[in-house]
Amino acid sequence: MAARIPAEERLTNLVVALMATEIGLTKQQILASVSGYRQRADGRSEALDKMFERDKDELRSLGIPIETLGDHADPNDLREARYRIPKAEYDLPVDIEFTPAELAVLRLAGSVWSEESLSADAQAGVRKIRALGIDVDEPIIGFAPRITARDAAFAPLQGAIERSVEVGFDYLKPGEQAPRRRRVQPLALVEYEARWHVFGIDVDAQGDRMFLLTRIVGDVAVTSVSFPAELREGAGERALASLEAVAAAHSALLEVTPGTEAALRLGRRAQQAVQGIRIPYVDLNILADELASYGPEVRVVEPVVLRDAVIERLQAVEAAHDAGQDIANGKGGA
């Protein structure tokens, strides 16, 4: 019995075979001749067919352009389809050159995302950098920044964006007692003010919407309902422009105690005002949560609705503390 070829070696053999042909190879030719498939040609053609389809999908997700060629007389007839990798689309242009500084930036960009947050597009970029002979595993300039996404919704949303399929999730807006189900065509994930948002088309509302990942309740359901991938073009830029426009239209005037954590953190994104500092914000409730966490280090001057929201949170903390003290002193409980 022949030794089984590892999946990585099989994929490499498939890439080499598809790049070596101009006219393409049929599925039957691939299964009969490419190492990794031919060793398993034991009569289970259905299992081999599924393996080949999975391999094609995986290579395409890595950025490798596998072209499907139909019948010359009827291009839509794929019963005898041939497959190939056009070298012109896969290879870097022969005249492209990178300076050492540019290669270092490419390597740094490839190393920024942690593995659990790395998208298929980013993984493809890292592999192409490695193809240039650059080791992206070693940090440069002494350290490499890292980006991680801790929201549970991030990974399924990222996968749905890359596949251009709809998702469903329960979303709880401030002031609402129960979450509401949303059907969304996700177009981009954007980070703004250290929080992740998903930008997309709300299918039921038939319009663009922005959703904060921390307000998604429960699991994200990824469907098989597809939408045109062209809708994703420029979506990230539109999303950031929308968030910046909201922030420009809303600001809070704060008095902050110098030398405190609040002064350090808020000062990074604030403008000096006659009375304290002015902070732009996108979401009043999120800003109220942050300001309440600083306790007496911050006082909200305006708007009044933000000041009331911060006071409400501080009163809730005080009430919870008093209740805990009562229980500890034996004054509470049944």
Q: Domain 154-232 belongs to what topology?
A: SH3 type barrels. (2.30.30)
Yes or no: say if 209 and 202 are a contact pair by the CB < 8 Å rule: yes
Q: Which CATH number fits domain 7-90: 1.10.3470, 1.10.540, 1.10.10, 2.60.40?
A: 1.10.10
Q: Which residues pair with 334 in a beta bridge?
A: none
Q: H or E element: which one contains 65?
A: none
The pair of structure tokens assigned to 265 is 């953190």
CA angle 33, 34, 36 (to 5 degrees): 125
Prediction pTM value: 0.53
Q: Are 11 and 55 contacting, i.e. CB atoms less than 8 angstroms apart?
A: yes
- The rounded average pLDDT for each run of 10 residues, N- to C-terminus, in the chain (334 residues) is 67 84 85 79 70 85 79 59 79 65 63 52 54 47 51 86 93 87 93 85 92 92 92 90 90 92 87 90 90 93 94 88 69 55
Q: Which two tokens stand for residue 148?
A: 């991680």
* 3 state SS of 61: helix
Please name every residue paired with 251 in a beta bridge, in sequence order, or none if there are none.
280
CA 35, CA 242: separation in Å to the nearest integer? Answer: 51
Tell me which residue has tokens 């352009």: 65
Domain ranges of the chain: 7-90, 92-148, 154-232, 250-327
What is the distance between the alpha carbons of residues 158 and 160, in angstroms, rounded to a whole number? Answer: 5
Going by C-beta distance under 8 Å and a sequence separation of 6 or more, which residues neighbour residue 316?
none
